[in-house]
Amino acid sequence: MIKKNFSFNLQKVDGTARIGKIYTRHGEIDTPTFMTVGTQGTVKSVFPEDLITAGAQIILANTYHLMIRPGVDRIKRVGGLHEFMNSQLPILTDSGGFQIMSLSKLVKIDEKKGAIFNSHIDGKKFILSPEQSIKIQKNLNSDILMVLDECPKLSFDKNKIEKSIKLSLKWAERSKVEFGNNHNKALFGIVQGGIYKDLRLESLDGLKKIGFNGYAMGGLAVGETQKQMFQVLDEVVPFMPKNKPRYLMGVGTPSDILGAVKRGIDMFDCVMPTRSGRTGLAFTWEGRLNLKNSKYKRDDTPINENIKIRNLNSYSKSYINHLINSNEILASMILTMNNIIFYQELMRKIRFAIKNNTFDVFYKKYINVI
């Protein structure tokens, strides 16, 4: 039964790896979970119903992209993003802070007004305040909303990062006020602070005082090493609320996910499985395959003979290599679907291992393979 109110139930812990369940008005989400990215209201080259068949339980869309194109009024007019994109899976909307930093050439940060920037599409000027970001996400009618934070580029300037987290905490409080009391939706705070433990804990402490439905780790997977990322998780995750979902934003590779689950993270998102599918890369349990490589010209075996969804096991590596080299759209469709299925299977196997107290065995078996 679908629960109307948002909630999270931590079910079991194996070491520091956790399994749980998130309840939303659009369905239940088993954690650890991987959110397939549908930035602009679509997971590229995949039908919404195929996502469900593949095992996806939640998708991610982006405030920045949708406010620019097609515009929030157009989506609100039909009832929200679920209706607009013909998907009834739960949806998390990112606030747009990272995209403002990464895509806009000229960005001005004003504490009161918010982020002032020009569209990377047509140069049109936009002003996105914490309040406006929440209003847009409400109009998109997503299930999980994110606060607007300042997401600076990778920097080791501690003073700059400290100023940024103080601003982000003020914006987080304003986001919470604008969100109000809405029990059938959730608002997540975002922990910033670069690679500095004291700044991360300062950010987290401030967010906990405000109070959120979940807590995300932002500002990682932006250029630091995997070792640095794991060190930040080791230092900060133990202080995150145990009874709230923990979300590592923008991560990542299968080994990133394994390492982060080992450290107590519950939620992930990344464009890697879909973007890789469009560039000829397939994820498998034996490692990654670059199907553009000429060695696959005479390989008549499928990527995975066990994947029967959309009859993917009927397509040979030789044929897919031909499609890639001919720039045929079907190559992207096959590989993207393969990768989405792999990521969802990875999460299912992780949850099964935690449930059976065998996560460390699973981790050691695959951490250097996939």
**How much is the pLDDT for 79?**
97
pLDDT at 4 exceeding the cut of 90: no
Alpha-carbon distances of 20 from 164, 204, 258, 304, rounded to whole Å:
32, 22, 16, 29
3-class secondary-structure state, position 130: helix
Q: Where are the domains of the chain?
A: 7-270, 279-370
Looking at residues 77-89, what average pLDDT do you find?
Answer: 97
Name the more confident of 177 and 120. 177
Task: Identify the CA nearest to 254 among candidates 339, 167, 329.
Answer: 339
pLDDT at 363 exceeding the cut of 90: yes
pLDDT at 70 exceeding the cut of 80: yes
pLDDT at 368 exceeding the cut of 80: yes
Give yes or no for a contact between 96 and 119, defined as CB atoms under 8 angstroms apart: no
Residue type, 116: I
pTM here is: 0.97
Task: Identify the CA nearest to 285 among candidates 342, 358, 225.
Answer: 342
Q: How far apart are CA 67 and CA 104, in angstroms?
A: 14
* Structure confidence by residue, pLDDT tens digits, 131-172: 999 999 999 999 999 999 998 777 789 999 999 999 999 999
Q: How far apart are CA 171 and CA 162, in angstroms?
A: 14
pLDDT band at 5 (very low <50, low <70, confident <90, very high): very high
Give yes or no for a contact between 212 and 244, defined as CB atoms under 8 angstroms apart: yes
Looking at residues 64-86, what average pLDDT do you find?
Answer: 96
**How much is the pLDDT for 48?**
95
Percent of the chain that is helix, strand, coil (3-state, to 5): 45, 20, 35
* Structure confidence by residue, pLDDT tens digits, 281-306: 999 999 999 999 999 999 999 999 99
- Six-digit token pair at 123? 């140069």
Pairing, β 114-118 against β 107-110: antiparallel
Fold that domain 7-270 belongs to in CATH: TIM Barrel (3.20.20)
**How much is the pLDDT for 3?**
67
Q: Considering the chain, what is the average pLDDT of its residues?
A: 95
* Structure confidence by residue, pLDDT tens digits, 300-340: 999 999 999 999 999 999 999 999 999 999 999 999 999 99
Give yes or no for a contact between 169 and 203, defined as CB atoms under 8 angstroms apart: yes
Please compute Rg for the chain using Cα positions.
20
* Structure confidence by residue, pLDDT tens digits, 208-239: 999 999 999 999 988 899 999 999 999 999 99
> Is residue 287 packed enough to be buried (19+ CB in 10 Å), middle (13-18) or exposed (0-12)?
exposed
pLDDT at 125 exceeding the cut of 70: yes
Q: How far apart are CA 261 and CA 195, in angstroms?
A: 19
**How much is the pLDDT for 2?**
63
- Six-digit token pair at 5? 């109110």
226-236 helix and 197-210 helix, angle to the nearest 10 degrees = 50
Q: How far apart are CA 270 and CA 290, in angstroms?
A: 19
The CA angle 218-142-111, to the nearest 5 degrees, is 50
Give yes or no for a contact between 272 and 263, defined as CB atoms under 8 angstroms apart: no
Looking at residues 200-211, what average pLDDT do you find?
Answer: 98
* Structure confidence by residue, pLDDT tens digits, 24-49: 999 999 999 999 999 999 999 999 99
**How much is the pLDDT for 323?**
98
**How much is the pLDDT for 222?**
86
Share of the chain above pLDDT 90, in %: 88
pLDDT at 104 exceeding the cut of 90: no
**Would you name the residues annotated as active-site residues?**
94, 269
Give yes or no for a contact between 256 and 265, defined as CB atoms under 8 angstroms apart: no
Q: How far apart are CA 271 and CA 37, in angstroms?
A: 6
pLDDT at 105 exceeding the cut of 80: no
Give yes or no for a contact between 231 and 263, defined as CB atoms under 8 angstroms apart: no
**How much is the pLDDT for 1?**
52
Q: How far apart are CA 89 and CA 267, in angstroms?
A: 16
pLDDT band at 360 (very low <50, low <70, confident <90, very high): very high
Cis peptide before 241 (omega within 30 of 0): no
